[in-house]
């Protein structure tokens, strides 16, 4: 099927832009944004996804306000023309200056949520190593993602109360990813090839003079199948990729969330840069569709649906399937190899399913402090 984008020299396969190079039903193309006031009082997230082989597109906006997490979800049939794929119901993403300035709009008056927000990059985009994960002989992940640090200005209005945001006080990050990973309704997968397991830590953190990025994916025995370590300085120098990363975690009893976290970024000279994270509170990723039982990514909900949800924080069931996946808003300390320090703020995204050597056992069992 031809569309307007086919007039541009952007093709990566011998198909029209509206058709994917893979027929895998789980092919997706996705935006994610977060933002947080440097005093920790505000946190919001945005997600928008296109699932061409499912013929579905969806988006969500979620914000923490007065002890509640308030979310707006929209889901619809995927537009035939990709130029329309970033205008979904009341949520819009507009690329004003590629890799530099992006606008996000939300206009859901009936649900008490409106926003006009602009993300301005404070770093170059960081391309992460390609994600590829296979279970048995079945490919589960095969995708590319980049992460970028930035600041926000604009406003968010909840139930008629407007909060102004300023580039000077609101940091955040974004990512773009595309390829293959599980989306949509669960489907039979044949004979079991192991116990359910997934271990993921992702931590983009902003400091006044630099930003740090850390990520690991590990098997249930602790073997690592993916990692990222990058330092991006605010002076405009190119991102510095680390040669390896390591981490230390203290789990909060009764949850699968960290009460303290520390990661090391080891540069090409074997110098160690250490970031210590102290969580303030957790943002529920289900508020953006991640693991949501009704508005999970790529689920067919109808030709055009807009709805909202409000949940009290903190949740009372932190180890339920819906609530286990979080981004913790964290105070951060950066310790440079020369002993100097810097204070910042960032997030620690956590999703731990199944056993892990850090002290997790069972599929969703809460961490129990050993005595």
Residue whose C-alpha is closest to residue 358's, from 231, 177, 219? 219
Residue range of the domain that includes 158 = 24-186+195-353
pTM, whole model, 2 decimals? 0.95
- Is the preceding peptide bond at 125 cis, omega within 30 degrees of 0? no
Tell me, yes or no, whether 98 lies in a domain.
yes
Tell me, yes or no, whether 18 lies in a domain.
no
How many helices (H) and strands (E) are present in the chain, helices listed first?
0, 23
pLDDT per residue as tens digits for the range 278-325: 999 999 999 999 999 999 999 999 999 999 999 999 999 999 999 999
Tell me, yes or no, whether 77 lies in a domain.
yes
Tell me, yes or no, whether 220 lies in a domain.
yes
- 224-228 LR contacts (CB < 8 Å, sep 24+): 225/133, 226/129, 226/131, 226/133, 227/129, 228/126, 228/128, 228/129, 228/147
pLDDT band at 371 (very low <50, low <70, confident <90, very high): low
Structural domain count, the chain: 1
Task: Please state the rounded mean pLDDT for residues 166-192.
Answer: 92
Tell me, yes or no, whether 371 lies in a domain.
no
- Domain of 199: which CATH number? 2.40.370.10
Tell me, yes or no, whether 8 lies in a domain.
no
Tell me, yes or no, whether 89 lies in a domain.
yes
Tell me, yes or no, whether 177 lies in a domain.
yes
The predicted pLDDT at position 230 comes to: 98
């Amino acid at each position: 099927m031809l569309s307007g984008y086919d007039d541009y020299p952007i093709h990566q396969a011998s198909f029209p832009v509206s058709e994917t190079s893979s027929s895998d039903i789980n092919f997706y193309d996705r935006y994610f944004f977060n933002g947080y006031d440097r005093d920790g009082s505000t946190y919001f997230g945005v997600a928008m996804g296109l699932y061409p082989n499912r013929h579905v597109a969806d988006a969500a906006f979620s914000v923490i306000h007065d002890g509640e997490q308030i979310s707006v979800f929209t889901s619809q049939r995927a537009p035939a023309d990709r130029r329309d794929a970033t205008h979904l119901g009341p949520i819009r993403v507009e690329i004003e200056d590629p890799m530099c300035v992006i606008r996000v709009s939300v206009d859901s008056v009936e649900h008490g949520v409106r926003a006009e927000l602009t993300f301005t990059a404070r770093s170059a985009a960081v391309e992460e190593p390609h994600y590829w994960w296979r279970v048995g002989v079945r490919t589960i992940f095969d995708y590319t993602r980049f992460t970028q640090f930035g600041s926000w200005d604009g406003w968010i209005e909840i139930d008629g109360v407007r909060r102004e945001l300023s580039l000077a006080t609101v940091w955040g990050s974004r990512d773009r990813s595309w390829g293959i990973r599980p989306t949509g309704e669960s489907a039979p997968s044949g004979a079991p090839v192991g116990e359910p397991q997934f271990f993921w830590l992702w931590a983009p953190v902003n400091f006044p003079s630099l930003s740090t990025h850390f990520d690991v994916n590990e098997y249930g025995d602790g073997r690592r199948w993916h990692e990222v370590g990058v330092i991006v300085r605010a002076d405009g120098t190119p991102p510095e990729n680390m040669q390896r990363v390591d981490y230390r975690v203290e789990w909060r009893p009764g949850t699968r969330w960290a009460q303290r976290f520390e990661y090391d970024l080891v540069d090409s000279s074997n110098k160690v840069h250490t970031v210590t994270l102290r969580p303030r509170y957790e943002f529920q990723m289900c508020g953006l569709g991640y693991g949501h039982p009704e508005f999970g990514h790529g689920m067919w909900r109808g030709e055009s649906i807009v709805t909202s949800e409000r949940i009290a924080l903190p949740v009372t069931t932190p180890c339920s399937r819906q609530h286990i996946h979080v981004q913790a808003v964290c105070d951060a300390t950066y310790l440079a190899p020369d002993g100097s320090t810097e204070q910042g703020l960032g997030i620690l995204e956590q999703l731990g399913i199944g056993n892990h050597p850090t002290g997790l056992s069972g599929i969703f069992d809460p961490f129990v402090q050993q005595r």
